Amino acid sequence: MIRDIITYAVNNLRNRKMRSWLTVLSILIGIAAIFTLVSFGQGLSSYVNGLASKMGTDKIIALSSKSLTSGINEELFFTQDEVNLLGKVKGVAELSPNYLKGVQVTKDKKVVYSFGIGMSTGKDRRLVEEVFTVDIIRGRALKTGDRNKVVLGYNYLVPDKIFKKPVKVGDKLDINGRLFEVVGFFDELGNPSDDRNVYFTYAGFESLFPDLKDRYYQIIMRSSADTVPATVAARAKEKLRKYRGLKEGEENFDIQTFEQALQTFTSIITVINSILLLIALVSLIIAGVNIMNTMYTAVLERTKEIGIMKAVGAQNKDILVIVVVESSLLGVIGGIIGVMLGWGISSLGGKIAAGAGYALLSPVFPLWLILGCIFFGGGIGALAGYFPARSASRLRPVDSLRYE
Amino acid sequence: MSKTNKDILIRLQNVWKTYTMGANKVHALRNMNFEAKRGEFVAIMGPSGSGKSTMVNLVGCLDIPTKGEIFLKHQNIAHLSESKLAQIRGQTIGFIFQQFNLIPTISALENVMLPMTFQNMVRSEREKRAAKLLDLVGLGDRLHHRPTELSGGQQQRVAIARSLSNDPELILADEPTGNLDSKTGVNVMSFLEKLNREQGKTIVMVTHDEKLSHIAERVAHLMDGQIINETRPTAKERRQSFLHSGLAPKESSISKKS
């Protein structure tokens, strides 16, 4: 029987092609929007999760500003004494401080601005590389004594990204008026700001910015294996707060585990994503009203047909099912086309984002999302069709047969 | 089913049907009493507004009376739920309407299959039976045509095939020839007559064509919602009716259902 009902519903939808397509259009837009948003959201969260698992859960970061999002204030940079202090906190196994300052890079008369980072060349260098999950993909890492040498971010390797011609190992770059030799490149991080960083040795950085000697922007720490990283972070935070003579809650720095930092980032993304999803849901409610309107009209037009079906033995529930199947079909078709459209938009958007250096904005298409969107479309169709269906099923056969 | 088994199939007992139109009450049926036996062919005659269609709608479970009792196969149907009435309509009654009332978006075959669909008969069986019924009414080569692609007479024959699809005991025909030219109307009447004679179907037919009504065994005359008299066409009248309609009682191709 369900096969007959579906055939009949398809026939009816075909008989009012224009109206059916317009209704489908209204629902597919909402589904496509939801699919796109969720696919990006999922992509982002899988990127973040991948990051977290790669960098390990034992890392702690001390930032010389209140949070990741507040600006850079050189006044608040950590001193060498503070670095030593943090090194002595119970549970901190090792630590590696970083310099940071904006630099001006010139090549072939083109000037670009990026961040110069002074990093350790010792054993603790691995700590920085682990946190930023980067490996050298070309050339070599910096060594102690590389005073006039730099390692560059990935984007310097890409033609037209930073410079027209890609930079090669062995090239000499003008950085703030001094020539530095490029000895290697880090792998892609996935965001355009970090992928254009310039990495110096401590000595190299200090020679360029003598004022910033022993003034560190951030410190990466690793907690020892037998401790809880969050406890160690809290302990370090308290110690530094007391050292700086600040009250609790008035810290002008931040120390947290990387997991916590990522969670903050993820929750911001989740909020933004939720707001966008809400808007998409509103559009789906409108689509639902549209389906309801279409089905009310369809029921009215087919009053006589419903009367005929009742005369030949259709029960109220049969009519209910017929109308609900028809409206669900509208929803399912909208869902399928919406998923296809959303897939297209996401893939295209992902490619554009990757081209712009935001490889972290790469959508994923899990099966549950695809099926979920299609079922959701069908569900909205069914729900919107229920009320017209109920009023159709309650038509009295004698009246509907008389309807012209 | 034998015509000798003359037990009562339909009984209307003090039936009233009243419509409220604004402040006025209109009595479509007033205290009507009527009986039809199994295998009978009854014609309902009367001017428009006399209550013919109301009566057929009540017998056909399409409507319920305001007052009184209606028995169909000894079951009181006056107070049944809509779903129960739908079951009876689907299993016991076949309808033939003046307007044919076929569903325009589906084929002749699917129209005939429709009543069986609601009885949850398996598709292959439905298809086979519908094709057989359409063949019976001479439309074996029109199975996949939509109603709009068929002439009025052909549409009414599809409707007859549909009315037979669940092998009902009772066929209710409301002005079945009203929308047909006389020749086609005659053709349709011949089917009904054969159905009654050869398959023993009980037929209640509304008509306002007096001559056509003489094909029936019994004619109930309605006026103002009441049966004013009942007549039985004489053998001569029936013969004349057949002559008038060009029908001579003859061996039919309609075979009894197995």
Same domain (yes/no): A247, A300: no
Q: Say what the pLDDT of residue B2 is.
A: 43
CB contact under 8 A, B57 and A398: yes
Same domain (yes/no): A44, A75: no
Q: Say what the pLDDT of residue A41 is.
A: 86
Instruction: Tell me the H-state helices in chain B.
Output: 52-59, 82-92, 108-117, 123-136, 152-163, 182-199, 210-213, 235-244
Give me the residue from A3, A12, A315 closest to B123, CB to CB.
A3
Residue at which a domain ends, from A191, A217, A252? A252
**Å from B233 to nearest chain A CA?**
31
- Best residue in B29, B54, B89 for a mutation probing chain A (most A CBs within 10 Å): B89
Q: Say what the pLDDT of residue A279 is.
A: 86
Q: Is B51 left (phi over 0), alpha (psi -120 to 50) or beta?
A: left
A398/B contact by beta carbon, under 8 A: yes
Contact A323, A388 (CB under 8 A): yes
Number of domains chain A is built from: 2
CB contact under 8 A, B63 and A305: no
Q: Say what the pLDDT of residue A339 is.
A: 96
Same domain (yes/no): A26, A91: no
Q: Say what the pLDDT of residue B33 is.
A: 94
* Residue A56 belongs to a domain: no
Q: pLDDT, tens digit, for every residue of B180-222?
A: 887 778 878 888 888 898 989 999 999 888 888 888 999 999 9
Find, in chain A, the residue whose alpha carbon is nearest to that of B89.
A313
3-state secondary structure A224-249: CCCCCHHHHHHHHHHHHHHHHCCCCC
Beta strands in A224-323 (DSSP E): 254-257
A314/B contact by beta carbon, under 8 A: yes
Confidence band, pLDDT 50/70/90 cuts, at residue B247: low
Find, in chain B, the residue whose alpha carbon is nearest to that of A397.
B62
**Å from A382 to nearest chain B CA?**
21
The token duo for A208 is: 């360029």
Question: Position of tokens 């696919």?
Answer: A39
Find, in chain B, the residue whose alpha carbon is nearest to that of A8.
B106
B19/A contact by beta carbon, under 8 A: no
B66/A contact by beta carbon, under 8 A: no
Question: What parts of chain A have a pLDDT lower than 70?
Answer: 67-70, 133
**Å from A300 to nearest chain B CA?**
15
Same domain (yes/no): A69, A30: no
Same domain (yes/no): A235, A101: yes
B254/A contact by beta carbon, under 8 A: no
B118/A contact by beta carbon, under 8 A: yes
Same domain (yes/no): A187, A114: yes
Q: Say what the pLDDT of residue A2 is.
A: 79
Please give the residue range of the domain that contains residue B110: 38-63+83-244
* Residue A397 belongs to a domain: yes
This complex has an ipTM of 0.87
Spatial CA neighbour of B17 closest among B76, B69, B81, B73: B69
What does the alpha-carbon distance between residue B135 and residue B203 come to, in Å, rounded to a whole number? 21
Spatial CA neighbour of B80 closest among B58, B97, B95: B58
Please give the residue range of the domain that contains residue A217: 65-252
State the sign of the Cα–Cα–Cα–Cα dihedral A218, A224, A228, A231.
Answer: negative
> Quick one: how far is CA A28 from the chain centroid?
23
Residues of chain A contacting residue B162, judged by C-beta atoms under 8 Å apart: 312
* Residue B233 belongs to a domain: yes
Residue at which a domain ends, from A219, A252, A285? A252
Give me the residue from A1, A310, A396 closest to B120, CB to CB.
A1
**Å from A384 to nearest chain B CA?**
24
- Strand pairing class (A178-186; A136-139): antiparallel
Query: What residues pair up with A119 in beta bridges, in sequence order?
Result: A201
**Å from A321 to nearest chain B CA?**
12
* Residue B16 belongs to a domain: no
Phi, psi of B42 (to 5 degrees): -115, 135
A402/B contact by beta carbon, under 8 A: no
Give me the residue from B89, B102, B103 closest to A313, CB to CB.
B89
CB contact under 8 A, A12 and B90: no
Q: Say what the pLDDT of residue B243 is.
A: 62
Q: Say what the pLDDT of residue B177 is.
A: 87
Contact A378, A331 (CB under 8 A): yes
Inter-chain Cβ pairs, chain A and chain B, closer than 8 A: 69
* Residue B155 belongs to a domain: yes
Q: Say what the pLDDT of residue A347 is.
A: 94
What does the alpha-carbon distance between residue A135 and residue A328 come to, in Å, rounded to a whole number? 52
Same domain (yes/no): A244, A156: yes
Q: pLDDT, tens digit, for every residue of B127-178?
A: 999 999 999 888 999 999 999 999 998 999 999 999 999 999 999 999 998 8
CB contact under 8 A, A314 and B60: no
CA distances from A185 to A109, A138, A182, A357, A396 (A): 22, 5, 8, 16, 79
CB contact under 8 A, B63 and A316: no
Q: Which of the 8 DSSP states describes residue A166?
A: P
* Residue A58 belongs to a domain: no
Find, in chain A, the residue whose alpha carbon is nearest to that of B55.
A398
Number of domains chain B is built from: 1
CB contact under 8 A, B118 and A397: no
What does the alpha-carbon distance between residue A195 and residue A189 come to, in Å, rounded to a whole number? 6
SS3 A153: coil
Residue at which a domain ends, from A252, A285, A311? A252
Residues of chain B contacting residue A4, judged by C-beta atoms under 8 Å apart: 110, 113, 117, 123
What does the alpha-carbon distance between residue B192 and residue A176 come to, in Å, rounded to a whole number? 105
CB contact under 8 A, B62 and A316: no
Same domain (yes/no): A184, A36: no
* Residue A314 belongs to a domain: yes
* Residue B74 belongs to a domain: no
What does the alpha-carbon distance between residue B13 and residue B26 come to, in Å, rounded to a whole number? 19
SS3 A186: strand
Same domain (yes/no): A200, A313: no
* Residue B179 belongs to a domain: yes
Same domain (yes/no): A341, A243: no
Same domain (yes/no): A286, A207: no
Beta-carbon neighbour count of residue B120 at 10 Å?
8
Phi, psi of A360 (to 5 degrees): -70, -20
Residues of chain B contacting residue A401, judged by C-beta atoms under 8 Å apart: 62, 97, 101
Strands of B24-37's sheet in order across: B24-37, B8-21, B67-72, B75-76
Query: What residues pair up with A267 in beta bridges, in sequence order?
Result: none
Find, in chain B, the residue whose alpha carbon is nearest to that of A4.
B117
For chain A, the maximum distance between any two Cα atoms, rounded to a whole number of angstroms, is 99
Same domain (yes/no): A83, A122: yes
Q: Which of the 8 DSSP states describes residue A193?
A: T
* Residue A260 belongs to a domain: no
Residues of chain B contacting residue A320, judged by C-beta atoms under 8 Å apart: none
* Residue A398 belongs to a domain: yes
Q: Which of the 8 DSSP states describes residue B214?
A: T
Contact A181, A170 (CB under 8 A): yes
Question: Position of tokens 């359409």?
Answer: B134
* Residue B22 belongs to a domain: no
* Residue B256 belongs to a domain: no
CB contact under 8 A, A313 and B87: yes
Confidence band, pLDDT 50/70/90 cuts, at residue B5: very low
What does the alpha-carbon distance between residue A77 and residue A205 come to, in Å, rounded to a whole number? 15
For chain B, the maximum distance between any two Cα atoms, rounded to a whole number of angstroms, is 56
Find, in chain A, the residue whose alpha carbon is nearest to that of B162.
A312
- Strand pairing class (A110-119; A198-201): parallel
SS3 A396: coil
The token duo for B22 is: 């604004």
Q: What is the CATH number of the domain that holds B44?
A: 3.40.50.300
* Residue B33 belongs to a domain: no
**Å from B237 to nearest chain A CA?**
34
Give me the residue from A317, A318, A398 closest to B63, CB to CB.
A398
What does the alpha-carbon distance between residue A353 and residue A297 come to, in Å, rounded to a whole number? 44
* Residue A346 belongs to a domain: yes
* Residue A326 belongs to a domain: yes
What does the alpha-carbon distance between residue A90 and residue A93 come to, in Å, rounded to a whole number? 8
pLDDT at B13 > cutoff 80: yes
Contact A36, A346 (CB under 8 A): yes
A326/B contact by beta carbon, under 8 A: no
A322/B contact by beta carbon, under 8 A: no
Q: pLDDT, tens digit, for every residue of A26-84?
A: 899 989 999 998 898 888 888 877 777 777 778 898 988 876 566 788 888 999 999 99
A6/B contact by beta carbon, under 8 A: no
What predicted TM-score, i.e. pTM, was given to this entire model?
0.74
